[in-house]
Amino acid sequence: MKRFRQLSRSKKVAFGLALVILVFAVTELISWGGLYLLAPDFSFEKLRGNQEAIARGGILETDTSESIHPYTGWVFNPQLSPGISFGGKMVPVNEFGLVDDQSSIQKRAAGRLIIGVTGGSVSWQVATVARKEFRSIIQNDPRFSRHEVIVLRIGLPGWKQPQQLMALNWLYSLGAEFDAVVNIDGYNEAVLSIEENYHGTAHTAYPRSWEFRSQDIVDPREYATTFELFRIRSERQAAARAMLDSPFRWSSTRNLIWQVSERNFIDRRVKIGDHLLAAHRESPSFVHAGPAQSFENEEAVEAEVVRLWQETSRQCDYICRGNRSVYLHALQPNQYLPGSKPISEWERENSYLPEKSESEVVARTYPKMIVSGQTLQTEGIRFLDLTMLFADETEPIYADPWCHYNEAGNSRVAQVIAKELVKILPDPATPATTK
């Protein structure tokens, strides 16, 4: 019987190492496939970005990092948020938590014209486009041909009144000066106040979805559950930091383990969040919902939302007059106001959902807003009804099924507002009055 020669110690070690390498390679390959199964758009760069963002502030890289604000509800956190990408450019968060590449505190001076644009995401996008449009149109007027036109973005996506009003109070108190303030709003005040706040648990005048945004503010009745939520966030942040510090941080297997644990953290967090929301709906929390409201029917809710919208605009005008600033209020166009625009084929496929409840809210509340805006005009408040701006436009204007415009739409809105400002801005040679 033939006997096999026994392998030498060195060959055993070599074969052992080869086996370990083979097992490692196969495991890495399988894990690589697992990462793609969990996220078809997987890339190590994106994964590492998420890990760094969670380690830094407990949020995903693509999430908006907000900070509760004592006066405006919330702003962006300049220590965590990179800003907003729009039109191929990243606009950073300034020192006040507003998304702008310049300070929100500017001072009047000879040869300067300071225009603040406030509202929600539509106002922010229009203000981003408006810099070019405003400068071109305003500087075309001989009175301002040599002026430096400064356009400030003093609103944020998701804001609704009275957040614009509170922001104006805050910025004026910090020493901000404006020659003109433009408030572009309407959709958020109608839809978010009703669909998110009233149909949720929050007071209609509170910032949108306040019960979600205020989860970090502890209701004394929910200490135990809230502590568990904070513990999960702490563990999640610690896991991300451990991943970044690991010598195997580029290993597919190590990253797959982290990704699975990350999903587990998210699932646990969602379950606790749902529990808190259910508890708040059963017994509304003043911390997360504000004063209790009672309305006879949906029409009464809409009437209150429109009243608040009108009154906050009135207060904005008072504040601006007291600070020698021109105030212009523009009611933004929306595709769900009947007769306001012929819906193109592209829009019908991509940005028009008339069956959604949001569209019904617009159809019911916008006519009331138009009438309330006319009342503001009779009081001497400069109100611009833009709801029919696109009534004869057959080309696509609306970029999504909510309220936003494409570049052409933003440009049109900016042009109309700039032309109106030229009409109402006082001659720079004439001191402004507070009448």
Side-chain-facing half-sphere of 114: CA atoms under 13 Å:
18
**381, 317 contact by CB (below 8 A):** yes
Strand-pairing partners, residue 85, are 90
DSSP-derived letter for residue 178 is -
DSSP-derived letter for residue 355 is T
3-state secondary structure of 153: strand
Q: Pairing between strand 84-86 and 326-331?
A: unpaired
Torsion angle (degrees, nearest 10) of CA 137, 139, 144, 149: 90
Nearest to 174 by CA among 291, 323, 52, 38: 323
pLDDT, residue 435, reads 41
Side-chain-facing half-sphere of 45: CA atoms under 13 Å:
1
Nearest to 238 by CA among 277, 265, 260: 265
| Angle 353-358-364 from CA coordinates, rounded to 5° | 110
Task: Label residue 117 exposed, middle or buried (CB < 10 Å: 0-12, 13-18, 19+).
Answer: buried
| CA dihedral sign, ordered 400, 199, 287, 278 | negative
Nearest to 39 by CA among 238, 249, 266, 350: 266
3-state secondary structure of 232: helix
Query: Tokens 């949720």 sit at which residue?
Result: 200
pLDDT, residue 61, reads 46
C-alpha span between 240 and 251 (Å, rounded):
14
pLDDT, residue 406, reads 96
C-alpha span between 95 and 102 (Å, rounded):
9
Q: What is the mean pLDDT of each run of 10 residues along the chain (435 residues)?
A: 64 76 84 84 84 75 74 94 89 97 96 97 93 91 95 97 98 98 98 95 94 79 77 87 90 90 87 76 82 94 98 98 97 98 97 95 98 98 98 97 96 96 87 47
C-alpha span between 240 and 324 (Å, rounded):
51
Strand-pairing partners, residue 119, are 184
Q: What is the DSSP track for 284-338?
A: --HHHH-S----SSHHHHHHHHHHHHHHHHHHHHHHHHHTT-EEEEEEPP-TTST
Instruction: Output the CA–CA distances (angstroms, integers) from residue 157 to 92, 120, 204, in the order listed.
Output: 14, 4, 17
Structure-token pair, residue 8: 């030498």
Q: What is the DSSP track for 40-84?
A: TT--HHHHHHHHHHHHHHSS-TTS--EEEETTTEEEE-TTT---E
**300, 368 contact by CB (below 8 A):** no
Instruction: Please list, in sequence order, all residues whose beta carbon lies within 8 angstroms of the beta carbon of residue 78, skipping any fewer than 6 positions away.
Output: 92, 93, 94, 95, 97
Asked, as a colleague might, if the bond just before 162 is cis with ω within 30 of 0, I would say: yes
Domains belonging to the chain, first-starting first, are 10-67+224-282 (no CATH), 83-210+294-424 (3.40.50.1110)
Side-chain-facing half-sphere of 164: CA atoms under 13 Å:
37
- Count other C-beta atoms under 10 Å from residue 163's C-beta: 29
